[in-house]
Amino acid sequence: MATPAPVSAPAFDLSARFPGIASPDTRPGYSGWVIPKENLPEVAAALRDELGFDYLSHVTGVDYLPEGKMEVVYQFYKTTGGPGLSLKVQVPRQDPIEVPSIVSIYPGAEFQEREVWDLFGIRFTGHPDLRRILMWEGFEGHPLRKDWKEAYYEEDIKPFKSRWPEGKHVPAEDKTPFGDNVTYPDGFDAEKWIPEDPEKALYGALARYQVQDETGLGTEHVIVNIGPQHPSTHGVFRVAAILDGETIVSLKPVMGYLHRNHEKIGERNTYLMNMPFTDRLDYLSSMSNNFGYALTVEKLMNIKPPERAEYIRVMMAEMTRISNHLMAIGALTNDLGAYFTPMLYSLEERELILDIFEAVAGSRMMCNYFRFGGVVRDLPEGIPEKIKGLFFERLPRRIDELERFLSENEIVRSRGIGQGVLTAEDAIRYSASGPLLRASGIPYDVRRAEPYSIYDRFDFEVCVRPNGDIYDRLMIRFDEIRQSIRIVQQAVRGLPEGPVMAVKPAYTVRVPPGEAYGRVEGPKGELGFYIISNGKPSPWRYHVRAPSFINLTSFGPMCIGQKVADLVAVLGSIDIVLGEVDR
Amino acid sequence: MVPEELNSPGYDIPPEARGQVAITTLDRIYNWGRSASVWPMMFGLACCAIEMICAAASRYDIARFGMEIMRPSPRQSDLMIVAGTVTKKMIPLIVRLYNQMPEPKYVLAMGACASGGGPFKEGYNVVSGVDKFIPVDVYVPGCPPTPQALLNGLMKIQEKIRGESLKTSRWYQKGPDSVEMPIPLLGPDLIDTRKIALIKPAAKKGQEA
Amino acid sequence: MSEEMFGKGILKSLSVSLKRFVETYLDDLKWLGRRYRTAEGITHRGSKDGRGIFTVQYPEEKIPVPEEFRFVPFLVYDEGPDGEKIMRCTSCGICSRVCPPQCIWITRTTDPVTGRPIPDPAEFYIDADICMNCGLCAEYCPFDAIKMDHDYELASFGRNVFDKARLSKPASYYEEIRPVNAARENAARAAKEAARAAPKEG
Ligand code: SF4
Ligand code: SF4
Ligand code: SF4
């Protein structure tokens, strides 16, 4: 398979369908179509209804400060497979910046448009609930704008000059006037400042979504908050719901409690520095994150790793998928009330996979193993044998045992079957991906739909389950583990000899100007990286299409009408990781 | 501000923490009981929490230390393991949870993030170490600390408990039952209520500059 | 699910638990006590053939860390003939430049007379409360001077900012924790040295 060229030809001619409206993006290294913002809803509707681009993959903003422009980028795919199409809307960089919302056409854009509003200050007119999503209401400024500087700001690009050769250890907090990581607007007077009720906007939004009570029984609705510190939310995640008795009538997830400014930091880091940071996105599957990031930058650089490295990469990515799904199965059954037992069993197998990661990459979780053009180091001695032992002898047996343990258990079945259903149409509409999408009957897997690396050489099936309920989402993870075991078996058998790096390892890489969107099928869904290079050592724009975050868009609709106790199980079945949701 | 000042929860750190008080037999029994049944709060923030779960699971099994009872409620727990990145959006809730814990209570900062900000320290939504807002007893460096490193930190907590004495422990003396830490506010940025007086002149200076 | 079948699945689940419980004791009998607190016992429990109990009883037993394992970095020094410490670090600054969270601070020594830099760091700080243990510093140091440690038992009662004295460890320690890497690097350095010496002779 040839490396994709950095400038990919547009999938087809959009200007033929929209003459005078759509014009190709002609900047060097860019692709896609630029359209005026007024025509966005019209074009988006046509893409979905006429041209078959039914899947909105991601929406993000870019701040072109030197050009005085803001851009909103949309990436579309067909769920039948094939290359994507990207649309761009450019607006002048003067507040108020406004772009029409496409939530009514692609509901999957809801959270992403909120994120762009939060971080770039681009208003989406017609958005049903445009509030901040990662930062809190009332926060000053839109952090991803290039002219917004945080308290610990040192320089635009790393490395900082203060580290060498006259590096004195001064904690960053000692350099700010407040002795802490804070800045305030000019003349801010904390004594006179009156805090607003932080929850007002949220509860207002909840009430707006409230479904009218048709029975006319006039029961009182109560607001219930779950989280951020709650054992079943898998981290610091909060759910606010309006209940009618025990039934959920309206629900909003609240996130941002783990917003670690990944993208802002990523735009200051050099390309290589971002690699260990990607480990901390979805910290259960760092190898996959490495994979997606390395692929995207390699796409920009137009290099290709050697054969052996490709095999090792695939092996590592599939092992990550297994370890992630084991954790997901354990956590979901925990939420279903199994307390800890299945978790103990699945973590046991996960530990053995982590042992391999530790031996190969040096860390159990934060692997930082991929480099542009290969992997850091070859497999240490004895590791291929260890992998063989584990994947040919132990794991298949243990997975069967775990499935026997769970699949017929009456509690799992009665709490899972028919609960939290996500229909196939809804799954696509809400841009769900990964096991969540496939458990709703859509056989869409990036490894098949747009094969990357060497996945086209392996024999495996795209798992799919028809019902879209919690039980199917549990069982599809078993199916996927089995397929991943098959892939690892094939890869370890076919592992060729040879180098593991295509280029000389270097800590500065030259990335030609341009944009690239690279995606992999991560364990949680389509994991994408959208990178814009301007030829400097750091990316100008670094965006992560986080599957957990976008999968959560369908969480609210899935829960409406369910009992409040099932909320926890539905959340568990989506399998989120907060590092990736909040980034 | 020097870290010691921030670490001080508003009362004098009892000297037994430095192991300077003769420990009686009663203390021994009392401390043995306490140190062998430290109940941590089930509370994970980020990546480090996964290693905490692993430490609780089959391979590392903190039940061997009497710590397997992870309490979801702060009111039943003795130890807060701050496992992960502390963000500005989260810190008011962490302080509130800390205030809800009954004394004696301990805090373990797990990982670089909780100890001092970690790799994401420069971020605009990240707090530079949880000890800016609540007193921390033990710091476990690492990113993430392996489960064994966490167990090592928990043993340090036990060591600290064993050095305490009934006679001098603050919670058996006269005075307020527990010391509440002030909860920071979320304004245009995080507002530490202890520093309100400082914020106004400094923000003004920023205006002049 | 018919009425009389109810509970069958749960029984099946319980049988799996029971099997695991029994396996622990079967293996215990087979190993006759050698299963605990012995290196081979620990390895066996974490291998593909391990059954039943999986727990490793830290701190009495420790899971052996693999060679590539990385925790906070340390600085390597060679021991001179009189036992003095010869830092390998030349304060070239590469590690502080590649460090992603920028947690390395290096002060270069300058010669008081000429004002020219001397290849020896005056100060070297790593803020372990920022360090992400990524290993990039060790990967790109051209002098094999900074390496990733295996010592993870670092819990302390205060914050951890490591200075030069705290970071320095002898080369013998490095060779002990990473024998394969150290041997390879030593050989490469010797070859380089020989290559440098050769033209002079010729
Ligand atoms: S210390 Fe490292 S592993 Fe732990 S929460 Fe912070 S980034 Fe994650
Ligand atoms: S440790 Fe290595 S890279 Fe860092 S300054 Fe010293 S010689 Fe240079
Ligand atoms: S391990 Fe990574 S974060 Fe730590 S000092 Fe080295 S380069 Fe910096």
Ligand 1 first shell, C-beta below 6 A: A 280; B 46-48, 84-85, 111-113, 118-119, 143-144; C 132
Return the axis-axis angle of helices A307-333 and A564-574, rounded to nearest 10°: 170
Cα distance between residue B102 and residue A279, in whole Å = 36
Query: B185 or A543: whose pLDDT is higher?
Result: A543
Q: Tokens 């106790």: give the residue.
A: A565
Residue A294, domain member (yes or no): no
Note the ligand closest to the C-alpha atom of B87.
Answer: 1
The answer for residues whose C-beta is within 8 angstroms of residue A423's C-beta and 6 or more apart is A440, A468
Query: What pLDDT, on a 0 to 100 scale, did the predictor assign at position A116?
Result: 92
- Contact between residue A250 and residue A242 where contact means Cβ atoms under 8 Å apart: yes
- Please tell me whether residues C88 and C30 are part of one structural domain: no
Instruction: Quote the domain boundaries for residue A470.
Output: 262-271+305-503+552-574
**Alpha-carbon dihedral A165, A171, A177, A183, rounded to 10 degrees:** 100
- Please tell me whether residues C9 and C82 are part of one structural domain: no
Hey, what domains does chain B have and what are their CATH numbers? 36-184 (3.40.50.12280)
Q: How many CA atoms lie within 13 A of A372 on its CB side?
A: 22
- Please tell me whether residues C118 and C188 are part of one structural domain: yes
- Please tell me whether residues A314 and A417 are part of one structural domain: yes
Nearest to A394 among C48, C66, C68 (CB): C48
A353: CA distance to ligand 2 center in Å? Answer: 33
CA nearest to A216, candidates A244, A243, A240, A241: A244
List the pLDDT tens digit at each of the 583 positions of chain A.
Answer: 333 434 444 456 788 788 888 888 888 888 888 999 888 898 888 888 888 888 999 999 999 988 888 999 999 998 888 888 889 999 998 878 889 999 999 998 989 999 999 999 899 988 888 888 888 888 888 999 988 888 888 888 888 888 888 888 888 888 887 778 888 887 777 777 777 777 777 777 776 655 555 555 556 678 888 878 777 777 788 888 888 878 888 888 888 888 999 999 999 999 999 999 999 988 888 999 999 999 999 999 899 999 999 999 999 999 999 999 999 998 888 888 777 788 888 888 899 999 999 999 989 989 999 999 899 989 988 899 999 989 898 889 888 888 888 888 888 888 888 888 888 888 998 999 999 999 998 899 888 888 888 898 899 989 899 888 889 999 999 999 999 999 999 999 999 998 888 888 888 888 899 999 999 998 999 999 999 998 888 999 999 999 999 999 988 888 888 888 888 888 888 888 888 888 8
The total number of residues written for chain A in this structure: 583
CATH number at residue A77: 3.30.460.80
- Please tell me whether residues C78 and C151 are part of one structural domain: yes
A-B contacts at Cβ under 8 angstroms: 188
- Please tell me whether residues A144 and A267 are part of one structural domain: no
* Mean pLDDT within C113-125: 83
- Report the phi/psi class of residue C152: left, alpha or beta, with left for phi > 0 and alpha for psi in -120 to 50: alpha
Residue A114, domain member (yes or no): yes
Instruction: Quote the domain boundaries for residue C40.
Output: 1-64
Which of C105, C146, C162, C180 has the highest number of chain A CBs within 10 A, making it the mutation to test binding with A? C105
- Contact between residue A306 and residue A335 where contact means Cβ atoms under 8 Å apart: no
Residue A184, domain member (yes or no): no
- Please tell me whether residues C84 and C173 are part of one structural domain: yes
CATH number at residue C88: 3.30.70.3270
- Please tell me whether residues C89 and C156 are part of one structural domain: yes
Mutate to test the pocket of ligand 2, among C74, C95, C99, C149 (most ligand atoms within 8 A of CB): C95
Contacting partners of chain A (3+ CB pairs under 8 A): B, C
Query: What pLDDT, on a 0 to 100 scale, did the predictor assign at position A476?
Result: 92
The DSSP 8-state label assigned to residue A445 in this structure reads -
- Please tell me whether residues C135 and C152 are part of one structural domain: yes
Rg (CA), chain B: 18
Of C64, C91, C110, the residue at which a domain comes to its end is: C64
B142: CA distance to ligand 1 center in Å? Answer: 8
Q: Which residue of A has its CA nearest to C139?
A: A376
- Please tell me whether residues A311 and A450 are part of one structural domain: yes
Residue A83, domain member (yes or no): yes
Answer yes or no: is pLDDT of B21 > 70: no
Residue A240, domain member (yes or no): no
Q: How far is A170 from chain C (nearest CA, A)?
A: 9
- Please tell me whether residues C53 and C129 are part of one structural domain: no
- Please tell me whether residues A160 and A47 are part of one structural domain: yes
- Please tell me whether residues A169 and A309 are part of one structural domain: no
ipTM entry:
0.89
Domain count, chain C: 2
Residue A296, domain member (yes or no): no
- Please tell me whether residues C126 and C189 are part of one structural domain: yes
Say if residue B173 is exposed, middle or buried (CB neighbours under 10 Å; 0-12, 13-18, 19+): exposed
- Please tell me whether residues C197 and C104 are part of one structural domain: yes
Answer yes or no: is pLDDT of C190 > 70: yes
Residue C55, classed as helix, strand or coil, is coil
Domain count, chain A: 2
Q: What is the pLDDT of residues B154-163, one digit of tens each?
A: 998 888 888 8
Residue A410, domain member (yes or no): yes
A280/B87 CB distance under 8 A: no
Question: Number of helices and strands (H, E) in chain B?
Answer: 7, 5
Q: Tokens 């040192």: give the residue.
A: A154
- Please tell me whether residues C110 and C181 are part of one structural domain: yes
Sorting pLDDT into bands at 50, 70 and 90, what band is C202? very low
CA nearest to C126, candidates C158, C143, C148, C104: C104
* Residue nearest atom 4 in ligand 2 by C-alpha distance: C95
Nearest to B199 among A188, A235, A365 (CB): A188
Supply the pTM of this predicted model.
Answer: 0.90
Of C64, C81, C105, the residue at which a domain comes to its end is: C64
Q: How far is C25 from chain B (nearest CA, A)?
A: 16
CATH number at residue A565: 1.10.645.10
Residue A283, domain member (yes or no): no
Cα distance between residue A372 and residue A96, in whole Å = 40
Of A155, A174, A193, the residue at which a domain comes to its end is: A174
Of C48, C64, C80, the residue at which a domain comes to its end is: C64
SS (H, E, C) A364-380: CCCCCCEECCEECCCCC
- Please tell me whether residues C31 and C77 are part of one structural domain: no
- Contact between residue C74 and residue C168 where contact means Cβ atoms under 8 Å apart: yes
